[in-house]
Amino acid sequence: MSAVAAGSAVVPAVRGAGRREFVALIAACMGMTALGIDSVLPAFGDLRAEFGIDAGSTAVSWVITGYFLGLASGQLFYGPLSDRFGRKRLLSVGLALYIAGAIGSALSPSLVVLVLFRVLNGLGAAGPRSLALAMVRDRFEGEQMARTMSFAMSIFILVPVIAPSLGALVLRFGPWPSVFWGAAVLAAVVAVWTRRLPETLPPERRRNAGVGQLAGAAKVVVRSRATVAYGLGATCLFGSMAAYLGNSEVLIDKVFGFGPQFPLIFGALAVTMGLSTLLSARLVVALGLRTLVRRASLVLVAVSGAFLVTAVVTDGRPPFAVFCVLMALLLPLHTMLMPNCNTAAMGPLGAVAGVGAALLGTITTAGGALLGSVVDSAFDGTVRPLAFAMCLLSVCCCALVHLAERRGGTLRAR
């Protein structure tokens, strides 16, 4: 039997992990990234108490923002470096940084130190997140690649559903550092397990990726109207999601009084995001990518506008059921639009797709995280700041999406 089956493996069978174990390892790497975000949310109250922060403060949301900033910056390095040195070596580096960041977070004496270690934690998480997908591309093609990617992404979506409950469960038996110790232990288990992974990028397929390639890719990115517009649109969407993540715990606890039920409520809303991903795959086929993005962005503006009107009319404290319904509409729309905006942004990049994806990922994640932190700092004890931000960012995203298709796809030099 040939090393490359039709529509299947790109590389020959290797010692170590078989196909099923390989896919499970890829899913574990993807899940770790999401776990580092959502498992920490139930500890926000304990962190405020530990560091002497006001009970209604959103300053602790920097624990999430710092992680996102590390996750964003790491994408610039892992992809190009792994093209030169191989995937497995860089994966080990990322896991080591993840573990170091988690341990440092558990031992942090102040919020500032904790945020710094969370940046390191996110920098490490960028390795498993980006390299897992690269290893799938290396090893499979066609239907097998699509199936493996789909499974890995479903794990990435499933983790936010259960991660807050896992974090809350850990907190029932230990103090807030236990959440980070738990993350470090899980990452160590994955690190040991990845020793069974084959190197998916053999030496003869490696290539140098230096500053020149980054600069060349950056020129291609900024000269494409579609890439710039869709990329900025995705940044707006990520900003809305980051704001929701930073505000969700304090909103559900302080505004609505359902703090003890936070993990269940957050998980239930996360389920709608997973369902949206499945629906998006069907709609892309039925409508086409750009038509779907344009129409979904218009619906997003309408729903976010309804959220803002509701927030204003109710003085920032709508009935909890109404809030949940609005979130159950807004979050799936974000989940549907973000990956599709990124896909549309990648369209014109052609030969610089790999490095261009790293640049877009960095800008989108870092820019969105900073936008989210601005919204978090504006919390006033109501849902108004979040509603205003979501509406404004939705309008900006919609305008950018429609701008992307006007008068050609290239930004003219002035």
DSSP 273-323: HHHHHHHHHHHHHHH-HHHHHHHHHHHHHHHHHHHHHHHHHTTT---HHHH
Q: Are 69 and 376 in contact (CB under 8 A)?
A: no
Tokens of 170: 């850990």
Query: Are residue 73 and residue 215 in the same domain, yes or no?
Result: no
Give the highest mean pLDDT range of 112-116, 168-172, 214-218, 350-354. Answer: 112-116
Query: Are residue 138 and residue 257 in the same domain, yes or no?
Result: no
Tokens of 301: 């503006």
- Which residue range is the domain that position 32 belongs to? 18-209
> Above 70 in pLDDT, residue 15?
no
In a domain, 5, yes or no: no
Query: Are residue 39 and residue 180 in the same domain, yes or no?
Result: yes
Domain end among 166, 184, 209: 209
In a domain, 201, yes or no: yes
> Above 50 in pLDDT, residue 13?
no
CA separation for the pair 76, 364 (Å, rounded): 12
Domain end among 160, 188, 209: 209
Query: 75 CB contacts (<8 Å, ≥6 apart)?
Result: 126, 129, 130, 358, 361, 362, 365
DSSP 207: -
Query: Are residue 50 and residue 175 in the same domain, yes or no?
Result: yes
In a domain, 60, yes or no: yes
In a domain, 122, yes or no: yes
pLDDT band at 410 (very low <50, low <70, confident <90, very high): very low
CA separation for the pair 27, 37 (Å, rounded): 16
In a domain, 306, yes or no: yes
pLDDT band at 251 (very low <50, low <70, confident <90, very high): very high
Query: Are residue 353 and residue 370 in the same domain, yes or no?
Result: yes
Q: Are 303 and 326 in contact (CB under 8 A)?
A: yes
Q: What phi, psi does 140 have (nearest 5°)?
A: -130, 165
Domain end among 209, 235, 258: 209
Query: 319 CB contacts (<8 Å, ≥6 apart)?
Result: none
Distance, C-alpha 4 to centroid of its chain: 33
In a domain, 4, yes or no: no
Q: What phi, psi does 81 have (nearest 5°)?
A: -70, -35
Query: Are residue 137 and residue 236 in the same domain, yes or no?
Result: no
> Above 70 in pLDDT, residue 12?
no
CA separation for the pair 104, 323 (Å, rounded): 36
More confident residue, 251 or 80: 251
Query: Are residue 350 and residue 219 in the same domain, yes or no?
Result: yes
**Lowest mean pLDDT segment, chosen from 81-95, 130-144, 245-259, 359-373:** 130-144
Q: Are 101 and 46 in contact (CB under 8 A)?
A: no
Token match 């030169």: residue? Answer: 84
Query: Are residue 283 and residue 203 in the same domain, yes or no?
Result: no
CA separation for the pair 190, 96 (Å, rounded): 11
CA separation for the pair 237, 153 (Å, rounded): 19
Query: Are residue 318 and residue 174 in the same domain, yes or no?
Result: no
> Above 80 in pLDDT, residue 414?
no
- pLDDT tens profile 378-407: 998 999 999 999 999 999 999 999 988 765
Three-class secondary structure of residue 333 per DSSP: helix
pLDDT band at 116 (very low <50, low <70, confident <90, very high): very high
In a domain, 53, yes or no: yes
**Domain containing 131 — which CATH number?**
1.20.1250.20
Instruction: Write the DSSP assignment of 57-115 as a string of letters.
Output: --GGGHHHHHHHHHHHHHHHHHHHHHHHH-HHHHHHHHHHHHHHHHHHHHT-SSHHHHH
Query: Are residue 342 and residue 403 in the same domain, yes or no?
Result: yes
Q: Are 29 and 131 in contact (CB under 8 A)?
A: yes
Q: What is the mean pLDDT of residues 91-112?
A: 95
CA distances for 366 relative to 59, 175, 212, 215, 389, angstroms: 18, 30, 22, 19, 17
Count the domains in the chain: 2
Q: What is the mean pLDDT of residues 209-231?
A: 78
Q: Supply the mean pLDDT for the chain.
A: 84
Tokens of 133: 């997908």
CA separation for the pair 305, 36 (Å, rounded): 31
Query: Are residue 113 and residue 255 in the same domain, yes or no?
Result: no
Query: Are residue 237 and residue 204 in the same domain, yes or no?
Result: no
In a domain, 183, yes or no: yes
